[in-house]
Structure 1
Amino acid sequence: MSLALLTYAVAKHLGVKAVFQVMHTEPMLLEVTANFAVTSDHVRTFLYEEDNDQPSKGFFLSGRSYLILDYFPGRYDRTSKIIDENQFVAMLYRNLAADALLNGDLDYAYSLLTSGIRYDKEYAPLISMMAIVHRRKGDESTAETLYRYGLEVSDSKITLLSNYHYLFSKQGKYEQADRIKLRLLGLEDNSPYDWYLIGQDAILEGDFKSAEIYLSKFLKNPPYYHAAYFDLARAQYALGRNNSAKNSIKLALEYAEMPKSQRQYKAKLNWLNQM
């Protein structure tokens, strides 16, 4: 994000227009003990000269020429929506607030989130993190209000629903938690790596049926992410579905490139074949 910010500053100084596209990157860290899932995403920048004579048809439909800058392209990157300057700044505040949360500095995180929401009041990560701050401060009522607000205004609902479910479960409100979980299980959302992360959480909680559903939703988008097939196999094996687990391991082996991963998957497949 810092390089994209530098690019934007230089472009603005030179009078070159810029828009951004969110790129979802495979998860880099899963911190379960602190109830945080830290993912890596970034933006790529489209630079172009403004043509005032050209009617507005949306960025890609305008026919204008542009230059794309992506400093961290990856094989498993998934493109998302085009965002404007305000949304870009909101993402910057999200990153800073995430660092503050991981460091346990709730007051600083709150300050950063408040600033970020001024730029985009409907940005789900900011709303969700603000709810987490309130929950950790003991204000669970405001946290619940924030989750309800986020679900009303934001397009991306996976993390909001997952965290809302966690809040109700923590409070012992199991009926409400079950209703939220049903919404999550029935949700169709193309946000790629969110499904993977909550699938991992479900495995750690021993909820293998939900894990299978979440991971299957995830694999509709990046169908060659080998680690997800391995996790899917773990869930299927726990459910007693050995043949399905074998098929998932075979797909993990097919898509894996690193020898270490290949050896791991071969060993698991050989073990399953002996069952």
Structure 2
Amino acid sequence: MECVFGLVGDGFALVAADSSAVNSILVHKSNEDKIMILDSHKLLGASGEAGDRVQFTEYIQKNVHLYEFRNGIPLSTAAAANFTRGELAQALRKDMDNHLERSELKSLDLTPISVGIITSKFVVTTILAPSVGTAQPKGCIGNGRDSSIAGYDKDIGPSLYYIDYIATLHKVDKGAFGYGSFFSLSMMDRHYHSGMSLKEAVDLVDKCIVEIRTRLVVSPPNFVIKIVDKDGAKEYAWRETIKDAEEPTA
């Protein structure tokens, strides 16, 4: 029941995410930070299975740092978003090719026409509907990852980019994904306006969190909010209703 959402305000961009690490019916922790600080002026919020999500966000972070070390200048937010989109698209297609090579189609005596039909059905089932329990290829670095990249560029100002699990990239003023997006998007459609102050934006985020907690059948209890502006990317606040128990000390 994940939810990551963000918006662009007057001189800043904001990303908020739930902090629940879950697997099936189990909650492992409720203070998982799902918003990666890519560099001094960029944030990456992502959803998905914990291991895949961490590997994916760290992979993007390290490559953003590598570019800056090699070239002496940081990537712009648009460039970082396009790099992320390109890596996700390449990984999806490479993994699909490997999966088809290993598939049971090789062992079936089918005509080329029937092979084409089955392959097309597999692609549609695998790529377009991974969230409803259908089979999907494994081993892809960005497999099933929805993400939002927020950043601040000196000459451009704040910006927010939405990248979905099939590597579609859009620049947006507000966006959300996960089950909580059904409620947060409706709240933002009603209350969002361009040029929001930080106070107004945080108030809108709190409205979204209240709506998610009230209406989502299995709602995440805790959320983290991070912002990026001319002064850099930083953690702004947590919205917590429960706290994880501290581990006993020896």
TM-score by length of 2: 0.31
Q: Say which structure is richer in helix.
A: 1
Q: Higher strand proportion, which one?
A: 2
